[in-house]
């Protein structure tokens, strides 16, 4: 049986807390920090960035759980986030493992793609609820995409720092 | 990539898709899942805490963005209140509180059949297409699904959409999916107050399905008609700010400004019991 180190378990636990925290922030703090009248997809950004740095299996589980938690806490009638977040994480995994060596580009590309899909989802739901699609696209979906893109880089830097601490700890241990 | 062909990924994908379909369908069929209810017990206390943080941040943010305006206003106010003493200020505060309580009492006296439960708003999940209030009281306090909620000035806010033992969720009347049977107080012209995407952004709603010759004018008060099973008759919805004619449907409609100040609420009143209105 494969031995799992304490540091790896701690890393997964802290990453889960990090994802849960992003959900809580998106639902309670960010509504007070609206730009253009919308709330950014903070959790989606966090999920994408985590998928670039974390193990594939852990990333997928975190993506599904974070999506479910977000829809539950947010009181959303639609529970589409677990599926969309999983797809976003999968895209991030593919880009970071197969296409690019550095982690920042896959995080930004898959993040932008996921945010676009998220914004379109919002526009479609608004249109299905009776709003004009064009109006929903311009007044809500586009600002949502822009705001999400603005916070994507800081979220990536924060996630990278989170993993850097673990890597630094492991390297210094090996040196000793 | 091997991972995407692995059993693990395929199972996770199926689970995620199943969650999306099952929970969305359950939500639309009106069933609140046990898992969601259980999760709320854990998340509501955390939400209370983080919402307090959010409010504090909100206060600081508005302080920075409106600094110039506030500074100017402050100078004007300083001139205005020159000569005023602290007792007068505290007396004003007491009077304001007294007025609010009196308004509540008036509502109670006016509607003897009403039973109230006052609840604090502990969370405000402003989605990009829906705003849900989380209240700190639930079934243990007699609050249940589809109960109407009003503000302290007895203006209709909306209704309870979901309730657990210690929490409940509520939606306002300006939401797109909302509809309330209504009539114009002066002329008795009846219609339905519905949420509208464009108007929701402005904090307004629409009185639709009016007859083409309906007598509606700007300034008219719009009240609940009591038709349907959620809202009692006679609650103030708002005042008409604009009257328009729909060429395609050949009906009139009016833009209504809600009487209750929906955006700045901290607590609301739930009408837990009332006598149903029976049409003659």
- Choose the mutation target among A51, A77, A125, A146 for the interface with B, i.e. most B CBs under 10 Å: A77
**Mean pLDDT to the nearest integer, B12-29:** 84
Q: Strands B190-194 and B179-184, how do they pair?
A: antiparallel
pLDDT tier, A130 (very low <50, low <70, confident <90, very high otherwise): confident
Give me the interface pTM, i.e. the ipTM.
0.82
pTM beyond cutoff 0.90: no
Which domains occur in chain B, in start order?
116-280 (2.40.10.350)
**Mean pLDDT to the nearest integer, B192-219:** 88
pLDDT higher at B97 or A114: A114
Residue A76 has pLDDT above 80, yes or no: no
Residue A173 has pLDDT above 70, yes or no: no
Cβ contact (<8 Å) for A77 and B27? Answer: yes
| Nearest-angstrom CA–CA distance, A87 and A94 | 11
Q: How far apart are the CA of B210 and the nearest CA of chain A, in angstroms?
A: 19
**Mean pLDDT to the nearest integer, B15-38:** 78
Average predicted confidence (pLDDT) for chain A:
83
Q: How far apart are the CA of A75 and the nearest CA of chain B, in angstroms?
A: 7
Which domains occur in chain A, in start order?
6-168 (1.10.1760)
Q: How far apart are the CA of B20 and the nearest CA of chain A, in angstroms?
A: 5
Report the range of poorest mean pLDDT among B21-25, B42-46, B200-204, B257-261: B42-46
Average predicted confidence (pLDDT) for chain B:
82
Residue A106 has pLDDT above 80, yes or no: yes
The string of pLDDT tens digits covering residues A46-68 is: 999 998 888 888 999 999 999 98
Of B4, B50, B58, the CB nearest to A24: B50
The string of pLDDT tens digits covering residues B33-50 is: 666 677 777 777 777 777
The string of pLDDT tens digits covering residues B82-124 is: 767 778 777 877 887 777 677 777 777 777 778 888 888 887 7
Cβ contact (<8 Å) for B40 and A72? Answer: yes
pLDDT at residue B109, as a whole number: 75
| Nearest-angstrom CA–CA distance, A36 and A31 | 12
Q: How far is CA A65 from CA A118, B122, B245, in A?
A: 17, 24, 49
CB contacts of B4 in chain A (<8 Å) are 90, 94
């Amino acid at each position: 049986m494969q031995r799992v180190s304490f540091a790896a378990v701690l890393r997964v636990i802290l990453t889960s807390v990090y994802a849960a925290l992003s959900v809580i922030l998106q639902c309670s703090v960010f509504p007070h920090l609206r730009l253009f009248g919308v709330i950014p997809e903070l959790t989606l950004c966090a999920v994408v960035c985590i998928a670039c740095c974390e193990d594939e299996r852990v990333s997928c589980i975190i993506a599904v759980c974070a999506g479910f938690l977000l829809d539950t806490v947010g009181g959303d009638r639609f529970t589409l986030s677990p599926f969309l977040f999983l797809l976003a994480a999968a895209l991030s995994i593919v880009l970071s493992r197969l296409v690019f060596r550095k982690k920042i580009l896959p995080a930004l590309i898959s993040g932008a793609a996921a945010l676009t899909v998220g914004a379109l989802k919002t526009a479609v739901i608004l249109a299905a609820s009776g709003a004009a699609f064009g109006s929903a696209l311009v007044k809500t979906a586009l600002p949502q995409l822009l705001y999400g893109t603005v916070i994507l880089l800081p979220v990536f830097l924060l996630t990278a720092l989170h993993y850097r601490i673990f890597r630094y700890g492991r390297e210094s241990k090996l040196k000793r | 990539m091997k991972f995407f062909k692995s059993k693990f990924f395929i199972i996770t994908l199926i689970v995620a898709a199943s969650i999306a379909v099952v929970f969305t369908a359950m939500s639309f069929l009106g069933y609140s899942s046990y898992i969601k209810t259980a999760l709320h017990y854990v998340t509501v206390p955390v939400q209370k805490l983080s919402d307090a943080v959010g409010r504090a941040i909100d206060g600081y943010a508005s302080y920075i963005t409106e600094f110039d305006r506030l500074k100017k206003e402050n100078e004007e106010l300083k001139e205005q209140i020159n000569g005023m003493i602290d007792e007068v200020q505290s007396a004003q505060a007491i009077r304001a509180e007294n007025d609010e309580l009196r308004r509540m009492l008036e509502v109670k006296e006016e509607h003897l059949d009403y039973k109230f439960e006052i609840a604090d708003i502990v969370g405000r999940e402003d989605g990009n297409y829906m705003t849900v209030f989380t209240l700190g009281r639930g079934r243990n306090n007699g609050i249940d699904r589809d109960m109407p909620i009003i503000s302290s000035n007895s203006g209709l806010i909306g209704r309870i959409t979901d309730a657990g033992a210690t929490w409940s969720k509520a939606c306002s009347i300006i939401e797109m999916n909302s509809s309330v049977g209504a009539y114009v107080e002066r002329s008795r012209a009846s219609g339905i107050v519905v949420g509208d995407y464009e108007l929701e952004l402005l904090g307004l709603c629409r009185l639709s399905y009016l007859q083409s010759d309906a007598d509606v004018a700007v300034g008219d008060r719009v009240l609940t008609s009591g038709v349907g099973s959620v809202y009692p008759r006679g609650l103030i919805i708002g005042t008409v700010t604009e009257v328009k004619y729909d060429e395609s449907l050949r009906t009139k409609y009016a833009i209504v400004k809600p009487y209750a100040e929906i955006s700045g609420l901290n607590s609301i009143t739930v009408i837990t019991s009332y006598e149903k209105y029976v049409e003659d």
